[in-house]
Amino acid sequence: MGKSYTQYVCQQCGRINPKFLGRCPSCGGYGTMVEEIIQDLPVSKIITSSSGQKLHPSEPTRMNAIDMKNEQRIDTGIAELTQVLGGGIVPGSVILIGGDPGIGKSTLLLQTAIKIAERGTVLYVSGEESEHQIKMRASRIQDFSKGDSKIPEELYLLTETDMDSILDQTQKINPQFLIIDSIQTVQLSELNSTAGSISQVRECAGRLRELAKNRGITVFLIGHVTKEGMIAGPRVLEHIVDTVLYLEGDRFQSLRLLRSVKNRYGPTSEVGVFEMIERGLVEVSNPSEVFLAERMVNAPGSAIVVTMEGTRPILVEIQGLTNITPFGNPRRTPVGIDINRLFLITAVITRRLGVRLSEQDVFVNVVGGLKISEPAADLSIAAAIVSSVKNQPIRADCVLIGEIGLSGEIRGVSKTSARLKEAAKLGFTTAVIPHALRRNETFPSGMQVIEARSLREAIQTVLLPPIKEE
């Protein structure tokens, strides 16, 4: 038995200190330093094959000698998830899915397990539910009592929190896919710390990554998130895995957005859209139609933007509302966009258009719960605000795309052709875009493309006559 010593680890940033501190010097968190007893151990066990041979390569390999003919992505059976992963699952990859409690992480992975178990062996490990509870959820998702639907024979369930036992059972079954629900519930017995601590999460994730790379097993991990919406603990877990997905949405609404924030084998910021119903998550193949389904035509303060989520163009309604404030400091309340972006846009509207907002509360909402971070939505946000102030609706058949500069100019954005093609599919016949894009882009036939050099020019083009107050 080796020597042991005590250290204190911050559960937010991972800082290690030999003595207890009430406040972490790195992240400033109070009460986040947790005691951990570290035992000097021999070199960690190396995962071996059934014959007992080492699976680690002992010599360097020439890159041109590696055979890639049999390396193909695996379809998940869920089109939206396959798209977010960049076209399918890469064998031997480690995929982390995070999200708020009750948002549908376990439901999504259980549905995925049922689908891929029809073509390969899946081991679903839960540290939070029993086998009977998991089967109860599976029966709700898919009615196995029907003659054409049955439980896949290659879907195995395991209720376990000890990492060594999980690795032993994995080597016995030798599945193609391993699902851990969740990484914060499993632990290594040789570490003298509780499950979910930084050392436990780091070491358990490291063992699972070693398993994935050496045996070619795809590992799915479910991760808890903090109140700020980040994966619990420091970002060490996100650095270990190959892909990080976030399942977003309001628990009181049916839409769920699966967003890729890290992907070593595909595009980042890709988004898949699902709808939560009684039997689980259902794919939404055309999210633009869903986001615009309840739109009120010719309503002041409503503008349409085509935003790019990864490689996917999505039409979204942006609503703006202004109201005279009874207080000295007017409010700026954004939902779905960055508040600093809203400050910038309102300042440009005031200085370049002469629209006084100093006595107006300004509210901006991205309908459907989508969060937009790209500057291509600037023009539609500004148009929605001005439309509300003047009580003049925006043309119903028009989309607005462009970034706003501090001088009031409209700057170019990427992938304009793809955006306009998506707008044309949904019946929009007019688009306002930056002037500089005409030289390099090809646009859909039959669509009127209006080039605007400035915010003033764009607003004058799209506003309709004022609505009479009743």
Residues in the annotated binding site for ATP: 99-106
105 and 245 in contact (C-beta within 8 Å)? no
DSSP character at residue 434? E
How far is C-alpha 52 from the geometric centre of its chain's CA atoms? 40
- Please state whether beta strands 302-309 and 448-452 pair in parallel, antiparallel, or not at all (unpaired): unpaired
Output the CA torsion sign for 251, 257, 261, 266. positive
Cα 248 to chain centroid distance, Å, stands at: 6
Residues at the annotated binding site? 99-106
Contacts of 72 (CB under 8 A, 6+ apart): 88
Report how far residue 174's alpha carbon sits from residue 214's, in angstroms, rounded to the nearest whole number: 12
Residues in the chain: 470
Q: Using CB atoms within 10 A of its CB, is residue 462 exposed (0-12), middle (13-18) or buried (19+)?
A: buried
DSSP state of 141: H
> The dihedral of CA 387, 388, 392, 396: what is its sign?
positive
Bridge partners of 262? 244
* DSSP H or E stretch at residue 111: helix 105-116
SS3 of residue 365 by DSSP? strand
Residue 245 CA: distances (Å) to CA of 181, 201, 337, 400: 15, 18, 20, 29
Angle at 167 between CA 161 and CA 171, to 5 degrees: 140
DSSP state of 257: E
Cβ 125 vs Cβ 166: under 8 Å = yes
Beta strands (DSSP E) in 100-176 are 122-126, 155-159
Residue at token pair 């919406």: 229
Confirm if 443 and 420 have CB atoms less than 8 A apart. Answer: yes
Q: Quote the CA–CA distance of 306 and 421 in Å, as a whole number.
A: 10
> What is the DSSP code (8-state) at residue 268?
S
Dist CA 266 CA 225 (whole Å): 24
| Residue 232 and residue 196 in contact, taking contact as beta carbons nearer than 8 Å | yes
